[in-house]
């Protein structure tokens, strides 16, 4: 049983490493292929779609393959997809490999979670929390490794590391019998907090509950996937953080996730599923609310800036007329530009002026000719 449990935790650790591998180096990957974040979003979308397809596909194949063979196929699929990404083929193939990677991770998680829940019937919540901690540990470690590789300009080898680990797990899956019949559990193990017996529900009530949980999982998966893949890009684009340091933001996110998952294994022993679930939902709403409010304020500020630009347009037009009177023979290029491009040019110039005024080798207040 111990080997079975440790191998299951190792597989979930691999899943965590793999799930954050692309997001940790996404800015470098997009820069290498000279594509926009819109295309990067499509890459992430196809990876999520692969995961979505992998869940029912693994359930379908579980009736035709043994758990051991299904896990071997899943880990082998992950290894091949990461090797493909390591070779940096045309970007279309990167999308294909990420799609296959999503299928492999989904199959791995579904099979392992199903086995663990069937084996540890009285300890399902505790065991699942251990699995999620293993997953979170992998998701925490991958950005740390990627940060080191990015600083050495060797970011692509993050795919090499995950491919090697996946190949190792292929061997493990062939050596350890992943069958519930071969596992003996101990009655002395700590169990979940007791809940009231599940009530008998009508078909309509079951569908309502299933819909509720589906929406909740959909929202959770969307937030987690966005954090995994775009958090470092947000830090680079909007906060001007060095790429090797921006990748660490994903690790910080998973430190918080890991703390929550470790706490789950302790809390679930004294709190029933229902209280824990609703408490978690309430806490998430409270924590996310400031981010939503802050985002709305930022949008309002942007609207004020754009409005100010429209209000000031007559002023800039008047300034242009004054330029004609001062430089009658000078052909200003701004006359052939639309108003939006002109505004963007002024914004860039304003930023560069302020930056070099304070940080440049020749501050403009001391070397005024440099600004001309």
Region 112-140: mean pLDDT is 78
Region 77-105: mean pLDDT is 94
Q: Is residue 190 part of a domain?
A: no
Q: Looking at per-residue confidence, does 330 or 41 come out higher?
A: 41
SS (H, E, C) the chain: CHHHHHHHHHHHHHHHHHHCHHHHCHHHHHHHHCCCHHHHHHHHHHHHHHHHHHHHHHHHHCCCCCHHHHHHHHHHHHHHHHHHHHCCCCHHHHHHHHHHHHHHHHHHHHHHHHHHHHHCHHHHHHHHHHHHHHHHHHHHHHHHHHHHHHHCCCCCHHHHHHHHHHHHHHHHHHHCCCCHHHCCCCCCCCCCCCCCCCCCCCHHHHHHHHHHHHHHHHHHHHHHHHHHHHHHHHHHHHHCCCHHHHCHHHHHHHHHHHHHHHHHHHHCCCCCHHHHHHHHHHHHHHHHHHHHHHHHHHHHHHHHHHHHHHHHHHHHHHHHHHHHHHCCCCCCHHHHCCHHHHHHHHHHHHHHHHHHHHHCCCCCCCCHHHHC
* Residue 5 pLDDT class (50, 70, 90 cuts): confident
pLDDT for residue 158: 92
Which residues form the domain of 30?
A: 2-185+220-270
Question: Do 293 and 236 belong together in one domain?
Answer: no
How many distinct structural domains can be found in the chain? Answer: 3
Number of Cβ atoms within 10 Å of the Cβ of 36:
9
Q: Is residue 214 part of a domain?
A: no
For helices 67-86 and 91-119, give the axis angle rounded to 10 degrees: 150
Question: Do 168 and 280 belong together in one domain?
Answer: no
Q: Would you say 133 and 82 are in contact if contact means Cβ atoms under 8 Å apart?
A: no
Residue 306 has pLDDT above 50, yes or no: no
Question: Do 169 and 254 belong together in one domain?
Answer: yes
Tell me the average pLDDT of the chain: 76
Region 103-115: mean pLDDT is 88
Q: Is residue 206 part of a domain?
A: no
Question: Do 255 and 291 belong together in one domain?
Answer: no
pLDDT tens across 136-177, in order?
888 888 988 988 998 888 999 999 999 999 999 888 877 776
Number of Cβ atoms within 10 Å of the Cβ of 88:
14
Q: Is residue 201 part of a domain?
A: no
pLDDT tens across 34-64, in order?
988 888 888 988 988 898 898 889 888 887 8
pLDDT for residue 104: 92
Question: Do 277 and 342 belong together in one domain?
Answer: no
* Residue 80 pLDDT class (50, 70, 90 cuts): very high
* Residue 84 pLDDT class (50, 70, 90 cuts): very high
Residue 72 has pLDDT above 80, yes or no: yes
190 contact partners, CB below 8 Å, separation of at least 6 = 123, 126, 269
How many CA atoms lie less than 13 Å away from 263 in the CB half-sphere?
8
Question: Do 276 and 345 belong together in one domain?
Answer: no
pLDDT for residue 335: 56
Q: Is residue 28 part of a domain?
A: yes
Give pTM, 2 decimals.
0.64
pLDDT for residue 232: 82
Q: Would you say 11 and 71 are in contact if contact means Cβ atoms under 8 Å apart?
A: yes
**Highest-pLDDT range among 93-107, 197-211, 235-249:** 93-107
Domain endpoint, select from 289, 306, 323: 323
- What's the rounded Cα separation, in Å, for the pair 124 and 204? 27
Q: Is residue 209 part of a domain?
A: no
Q: Looking at per-residue confidence, does 59 or 185 come out higher?
A: 59
pLDDT for residue 313: 46
Question: Do 11 and 117 belong together in one domain?
Answer: yes
Residue 76 has pLDDT above 90, yes or no: yes
Query: CATH number, domain at 68?
Result: 1.20.1250.20
Q: Is residue 195 part of a domain?
A: no
Q: Looking at per-residue confidence, does 173 or 187 come out higher?
A: 173
Residue 338 has pLDDT above 70, yes or no: no
Question: Do 305 and 337 belong together in one domain?
Answer: no
Q: Is residue 198 part of a domain?
A: no
Question: Do 167 and 51 belong together in one domain?
Answer: yes
pLDDT for residue 309: 46
- What's the rounded Cα separation, in Å, for the pair 173 and 167? 10
Question: Do 258 and 281 belong together in one domain?
Answer: no
Question: Do 73 and 136 belong together in one domain?
Answer: yes
Domain endpoint, select from 305, 323, 341: 323
371 contact partners, CB below 8 Å, separation of at least 6 = 353, 364
* Residue 187 pLDDT class (50, 70, 90 cuts): very low
Domain endpoint, select from 270, 286, 311: 270
pLDDT for residue 85: 94
pLDDT for residue 359: 61
Percent of residues, the chain, with pLDDT higher than 70: 69
Percent of residues, the chain, with pLDDT higher than 90: 16
pLDDT tens across 196-241, in order?
555 667 778 888 888 887 887 777 777 777 777 878 887 877 777 8
Region 171-195: mean pLDDT is 57
Residue 344 has pLDDT above 70, yes or no: no
101 contact partners, CB below 8 Å, separation of at least 6 = 18, 22, 47, 50, 77, 78, 81, 82
Question: Do 316 and 252 belong together in one domain?
Answer: no
pLDDT for residue 343: 64
Region 266-271: mean pLDDT is 75
* Residue 353 pLDDT class (50, 70, 90 cuts): low
């Amino acid at each position: 049983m111990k080997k079975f449990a440790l191998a299951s935790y190792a597989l979930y650790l691999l899943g965590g490493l793999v799930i954050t591998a692309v997001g940790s180096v996404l800015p470098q990957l997009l820069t290498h292929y000279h594509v926009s974040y819109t295309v990067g979003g499509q890459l992430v979308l196809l990876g999520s779609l692969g995961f979505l397809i992998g869940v029912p596909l693994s359930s379908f194949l579980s009736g035709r393959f043994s758990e051991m063979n299904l896990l071997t196929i899943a880990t082998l699929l992950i290894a091949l997809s990461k090797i493909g990404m390591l070779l940096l083929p045309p970007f279309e193939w990167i999308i294909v490999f990420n799609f296959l990677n999503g299928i492999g991770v989904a199959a791995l998680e579904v099979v392992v979670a199903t086995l663990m829940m069937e084996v540890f019937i009285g300890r399902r919540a505790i065991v699942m929390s251990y699995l999620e901690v293993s997953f979170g540990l992998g998701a925490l470690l991958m950005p740390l490794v990627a940060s080191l590789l990015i600083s050495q300009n060797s970011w692509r080898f993050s795919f090499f590391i995950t491919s090697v680990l996946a190949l190792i797990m292929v061997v493990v899956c062939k050596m350890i019998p992943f069958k519930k019949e071969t596992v003996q559990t101990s009655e002395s193990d700590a169990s979940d907090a007791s809940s009231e017996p599940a009530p008998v529900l009508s078909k309509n009530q079951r569908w309502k509950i299933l819909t509720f949980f589906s929406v909740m999982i959909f929202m959770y998966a969307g937030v987690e996937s966005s954090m995994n893949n775009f958090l470092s890009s947000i830090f680079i684009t909007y906060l001007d953080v060095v790429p090797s340091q921006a990748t660490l933001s994903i690790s910080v996110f998973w430190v918080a996730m890991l703390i929550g998952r470790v706490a789950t294994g302790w809390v679930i022993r004294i709190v029933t599923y229902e209280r824990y679930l609703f408490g978690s939902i309430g806490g998430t709403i409270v924590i996310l609310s400031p981010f939503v409010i802050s985002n709305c304020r930022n949008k309002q500020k942007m609207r004020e800036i754009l409005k100010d630009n429209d209000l000031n347009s007559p002023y800039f037009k008047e300034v242009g007329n004054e330029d004609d009177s001062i430089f009658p023979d000078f052909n200003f290029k701004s006359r052939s530009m639309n108003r939006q491009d002109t505004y963007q040019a002024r914004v860039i110039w304003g930023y560069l002026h302020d930056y070099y005024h304070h940080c440049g080798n020749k501050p403009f207040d001391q070397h005024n000719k440099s600004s001309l």
